[in-house]
Structure 1
């Protein structure tokens, strides 16, 4: 920092007037220990801030110094450029807020986190370079992001360098590009190619200053990310620029350069415009407000980036802004469009005086500002509704057309194009799974008439046969291209009743893609008989599988109708697996069907109805126990549902004392034996309720989780003990019977064990007997060898590694003595290793099984994403077995009331639209 400040002052001294020499020399000669050096050359010349000064007083107060500031304007720019060349050799300490070379005097050298070494041009090189303690996951906004799995990432840790292809001429900036300064010129590091980049390409840009936890900077010609605030566990890493990188690019945040958080491509485009355009002339004397203007000339007119310039003249705006509001200062990092109408009071140099109060440019009212735009939006809606509508309509049109349009008439937003509105109506039907006929409803038409009086929606038949049918065709083509080339997949069978006379079979394909992400795509919904035969079900499954090209790649099915599904799957060469959700439901319903439990539930239902129905009956009790009324209401609503029975019971048992004496005529409705039955039922239901919540963490949990959960229930939590009551023993036995009945097939247990053997959390198979463990490992090696020798594997090779080619046949030669004596013995020994694939599987299985098990909370597919090149043949088997779901439908449909709502929606669809709408709703993520 000392070198940087000295260089800046030296340049300023050569370029400035003689009367500034001594001042520049004093700055250049600053000694260590005299206080922290200035952060930039601009800070040497900025006057002190004026806290509390009024807006109208500031221009007069600073008018005398404005000419001097204008003359030194270019001097500061040159000094800043000189500083950046020295910053390339300096690092920054986040704790003491000072620059240093190599090692901070107070805190020592920084921590550089190294990438995993991966060869260049390796498949998925960017993912494989991820350091230990970080995870790559799918973001809710789409795309991939990086999360921390460590307890905490401390401030000051440095990741990098950012790797990619060096590009000198970068016409089309991408979100994977960063600019690097090199001796006054610039080049780009482009990480678009994941085989030539590292994991840093997946770090997303922060959308607000509060969520930013990484800062990008340049050091010795490379781009690095520095942790700028402590990152807790399970937190996404989010990066954005700071003053260091802004100065490196010449963007000068101190000049009120406006940029949008998260808009990296726009930032790079503005950077290009800045260095391609001629710099603007220095500001004229006696023009204090000119210092707040954007420095990049025409770039400020870019329609793609709302710059929120503080000096927007009223005449250049379609909105009636008050005179003088052009001097209000905007927030440099503001994202919201509402900032068009608001600004802070500032001084003549554009610095904000009070960030707690913000001023409306339409009416001059001062509002409290706390860091978000809630107050701004509400003020516009209630006080300036006309301008608010115009703003929203204008910016929506700008996103569609790429230009910032304005309303054709002041105060009236431009209506969207009819085609866009029709597509929005179709999206509404698909996303909410509504009947197409809703567009012909009176209320729907009235709502559209208010939103757009000129729009007339198409009738239901036209909408279904045009827009919705085109959407189905588009998505169907994309899915068909995806699934027809899958080497391995599985199918889940959802058999549901539409009406008294109509039953549907909805097929969903499940697979693990090349990035080791689990995928589920709905294929079709076909009507089937209410009680189909095994042959009829096999025919329906075969037709659907052939239509989608998954007949040969399918190995397992999940769900269905028990024995009928098993026979149909066996006829097709598949293995039918039960749905764990249906098994848990049967076990929990077996507990709830115990006579003592049913009797207690019935009396509790009568008590709840009496207490809630009569006016004034429970007012005194509700005052003492405010949550009791809600618990009783929930019991009447959800108490009879198996998936919510335990939670409802828990809430009521906590209020057993006030309920014990409650009843008509002062007599207690619930007897002591009823309370004992309810407590026993809750005790037995508890481990199964926890199991349901375990499977609900993901829409489709992996099959590998089923066997450990079943083993825990059957051999620990549902085992009777001498302290259990008779009711508990009977309930546990009934639950055990149901679970054993669903998973008694040897083929089913074999599949469950294989999935566990490939899950890094359960790789030791400690919950299996010794004989089962040996048999499972033998089956695992055979399965991995079979997959490696399959035609698909031979065509593509194992993930990340190819099997060595067979050596060419050698020309036989005359045997020497040793060959004559021992040749047969040696050839027999060599033949015992049947193939190189089998030998490699043996090595991989031995290494994998002896490695330390992963944490129970770790996603097994994330582990395989990091280690599939270490075990390439086992990785094939992992993609096959770990891609099989544990449930036949999303877990939320089974273990919550969401399933009831979904069933009601599907029943409301007309039969001719069932297949189309269920398909589009299930694959809605592929519509955009």
Structure 2
């Protein structure tokens, strides 16, 4: 009987795929062709091993009774087995897997947001970090990042920006030129507009190398190409640039409304004030002292001791930068703050022997410095106003010009240096904006400045008359505008119904009560506009906390991208990195 059963020992079913089954077989059930699956038969000792739904018992049998036999023999050709846990974690993700795509997208975002060079994927430390965090991820090559992944991401984000701009009625574009460390000349263009939700939106559009001379004609051709590429021609764009003559010519050739950057205007006025003989000589003396303390470790140490002895803040002296006027003001203010400690340090024996050639500031010099700082302080405040705001608004320009001009009026009590500074500021500001009509209209339409206190009553009335005339022209231009209806329940304070596609209605609709529908239908567009303007002027102005221009932040970022390490970047790669750095945080979702 046992011999019969030996002859009937058969291999395991096909569904038993573990390699351990090569050492076991099964008997047939008596009188049946089916296998007796309750027990496995060892091929070497013919021992019956009870099965419990897994391979634990048969593995224990082999370990105890046949340790010389390999548990994992060579896999039969063509069979499929389940990998072990260790093998699973060594298997690389396919490039098309969701996990690999996710990590690659985050890698691209890291390069763009943190302004990393493309060769970061080749850095040993970076590769070790990713290998430890995700061993199954294959780090892409620099060529793949540069030529495939980054252009693909750029095209995706660019499409999103184009779609967003399409909803804008009007746009403002800013343009500025800069030079990289590789002495490559670039022009960067940004775009600003109000979204349908009345939110200010800004985009960096492109940064292109310009090999031609930066003449007004060449810049105009460049701007026309930009407007064609991004679909801006029908948006009636306004151009904001610095005060360079070629930019003014370019705006005229391209037939664009040109607005001079007020932050740049302030810088020019301040630079002119700093070049007056008295101020220039004073700054030269202070700069010499500051340089001495910054270069001498002994003098710096003595200065720190004097600061502690006099209970003064331990601030370091600041030096100025030629291209930033406010750095000269900061140097002047810091010197005045630390002047007692500086004078005490200069009189100490260990410093005095090395500072024999330094000019000693007299009390008259200190008084002159204090007067200069006081006269320049309004320009510093105006610069902070322009640089600390988040989004560009031209409405703040006219009030600031008026404020600075009033502050530059010479008084009989002013010192000589104060008179020189005020005269330089007033003369420079006076020639920058010969026609202020557009600036006044912008201020009138800003609820913060609509009172126009810097204008006479006649000038205020004239400004709002121009606004009403322009609003009436817009109403006549839009044929499908319907009259504005008053709220269903005025006591609840619900906003009136808005006229379709009318920006003026959107701006003024919630500010004042409008005449009844039947009265509106009888009014001419001009009378309707005047009625709206009248109600708008009667409403209380809002607080002076709003939005304004961000001065040249984009171009500072550009300098961070084209550093010495990345000076070999191609112009198209500079364009992609700067575009994605400014637009990716808003458009790219993790």
Scaled by the length of structure 1, the TM-score of the pair is 0.45
Greater Cα radius of gyration, structure 1 or 2: 2
For residues 618 and 524 of structure 1, the distance between their equivalents in structure 2, rounded to whole angstroms, comes to 46
Per-residue Cα deviation, 1:18-70 (whole angstroms, up to 9, x for no partner): xxxxxxxxxxxxxxxxxxxxxxxxxxxxxxxxxxxxxxxxxxxxxxxxxxxxx
For residues 139 and 527 of structure 2, the distance between their equivalents in structure 1, rounded to whole angstroms, comes to 66
> Is the Cα–Cα contact under 8 Å of residues 242 and 265 in structure 2 kept in the other structure?
no
Per-residue Cα deviation, 1:637-691 (whole angstroms, up to 9, x for no partner): 7698423333343232122122224433276743214423422321122111111
**One of 191, 197, 206 as aligned partner of 1:515:** 197
Q: What corresponds to 1:693 in structure 2?
A: 384
> Is the Cα–Cα contact under 8 Å of residues 788 and 794 in structure 1 kept in the other structure?
no
Q: What corresponds to 2:258 in structure 1?
A: 576
1:916 aligns with 2:583: no
**One of 423, 429, 434 as aligned partner of 1:739:** 429
Cα deviation, residue 483, structure 1: 1.4
Q: What corresponds to 2:343 in structure 1?
A: 660
Q: How does 1:421-432 map to 2 (within 5 A)?
A: 421-432=103-114
Cα deviation, residue 613, structure 1: 4.0
Cα deviation, residue 840, structure 1: 1.7
Distance change in 2, residues 1:927/1:901 (3 Å): closer
Higher helix share: 2
> Is the Cα–Cα contact under 8 Å of residues 216 and 249 in structure 2 kept in the other structure?
yes
> Is the Cα–Cα contact under 8 Å of residues 303 and 345 in structure 2 kept in the other structure?
no
Cα deviation, residue 499, structure 1: 5.1
Q: How does 1:339-738 map to 2 (within 5 A)?
A: 417-449=99-131, 451-452=133-134, 455-498=137-180, 502-529=184-211, 531-560=213-242, 562-626=244-308, 631-633=315-317, 635-636=318-319, 641-663=324-346, 664-665=352-353, 669-672=359-362, 673-715=364-406, 717-738=407-428
Distance change in 2, residues 1:901/1:481 (3 Å): closer
**One of 749, 754, 764 as aligned partner of 2:441:** 754
For residues 566 and 640 of structure 1, the distance between their equivalents in structure 2, rounded to whole angstroms, comes to 21
Cα deviation, residue 773, structure 1: 2.6
For residues 647 and 505 of structure 1, the distance between their equivalents in structure 2, rounded to whole angstroms, comes to 30
For residues 91 and 431 of structure 2, the distance between their equivalents in structure 1, rounded to whole angstroms, comes to 64
Cα deviation, residue 488, structure 1: 1.6
Cα deviation, residue 545, structure 1: 0.9
- Structure 2: runs of 5 or more not aligned: 1-84, 94-98, 347-351, 485-495, 502-520
Q: Secondary structure at the match of 1:586?
A: helix
Q: Secondary structure at the match of 1:636?
A: coil
For residues 119 and 400 of structure 2, the distance between their equivalents in structure 1, rounded to whole angstroms, comes to 45
Q: What corresponds to 1:843 in structure 2?
A: 531
Q: What corresponds to 2:493 in structure 1?
A: none
For residues 520 and 765 of structure 1, the distance between their equivalents in structure 2, rounded to whole angstroms, comes to 28
Distance change in 2, residues 1:752/1:455 (3 Å): same
> Is the Cα–Cα contact under 8 Å of residues 180 and 562 in structure 2 kept in the other structure?
yes
Relative contact order (C-alpha < 8 Å, sep 6+): which is higher? 2
> Is the Cα–Cα contact under 8 Å of residues 267 and 324 in structure 2 kept in the other structure?
no
Cα deviation, residue 525, structure 1: 1.9
Higher strand share: 1
Distance change in 2, residues 1:610/1:571 (3 Å): closer
> Is the Cα–Cα contact under 8 Å of residues 306 and 341 in structure 2 kept in the other structure?
no
Distance change in 2, residues 1:562/1:762 (3 Å): same
Per-residue Cα deviation, 1:682-741 (whole angstroms, up to 9, x for no partner): 1122111111222233222411111101100012x2222112222221122222233233
Scaled by the length of structure 2, the TM-score of the pair is 0.69
Per-residue Cα deviation, 1:885-924 (whole angstroms, up to 9, x for no partner): x64xx33739xxxx65652424544323022111111212
Number of aligned positions between the proteins: 453
For residues 573 and 442 of structure 2, the distance between their equivalents in structure 1, rounded to whole angstroms, comes to 37
Q: What corresponds to 1:391 in structure 2?
A: none
For residues 514 and 760 of structure 1, the distance between their equivalents in structure 2, rounded to whole angstroms, comes to 19
Q: Secondary structure at the match of 1:643?
A: helix
Cα deviation, residue 568, structure 1: 2.5
Cα deviation, residue 446, structure 1: 4.8
For residues 910 and 540 of structure 1, the distance between their equivalents in structure 2, rounded to whole angstroms, comes to 19
Q: Secondary structure at the match of 1:696?
A: helix
> Is the Cα–Cα contact under 8 Å of residues 320 and 331 in structure 2 kept in the other structure?
no
- Structure 1: runs of 5 or more not aligned: 1-407, 805-832, 861-885
**One of 553, 557, 561 as aligned partner of 1:905:** 561
For residues 314 and 380 of structure 2, the distance between their equivalents in structure 1, rounded to whole angstroms, comes to 21
**One of 498, 508, 512 as aligned partner of 1:801:** 498
For residues 618 and 482 of structure 1, the distance between their equivalents in structure 2, rounded to whole angstroms, comes to 54
Per-residue Cα deviation, 1:203-232 (whole angstroms, up to 9, x for no partner): xxxxxxxxxxxxxxxxxxxxxxxxxxxxxx
For residues 640 and 700 of structure 1, the distance between their equivalents in structure 2, rounded to whole angstroms, comes to 24
Q: Secondary structure at the match of 1:762?
A: coil
Q: Secondary structure at the match of 1:521?
A: strand
**One of 461, 466, 491 as aligned partner of 1:779:** 466
Per-residue Cα deviation, 1:852-905 (whole angstroms, up to 9, x for no partner): 222223x38xxxxxxxxxxxxxxxxxxxxxxxxx64xx33739xxxx6565242
Q: What corresponds to 1:20 in structure 2?
A: none
Q: What corresponds to 1:72 in structure 2?
A: none
Per-residue Cα deviation, 1:354-387 (whole angstroms, up to 9, x for no partner): xxxxxxxxxxxxxxxxxxxxxxxxxxxxxxxxxx
> Is the Cα–Cα contact under 8 Å of residues 433 and 906 in structure 1 kept in the other structure?
no
Distance change in 2, residues 1:775/1:578 (3 Å): same
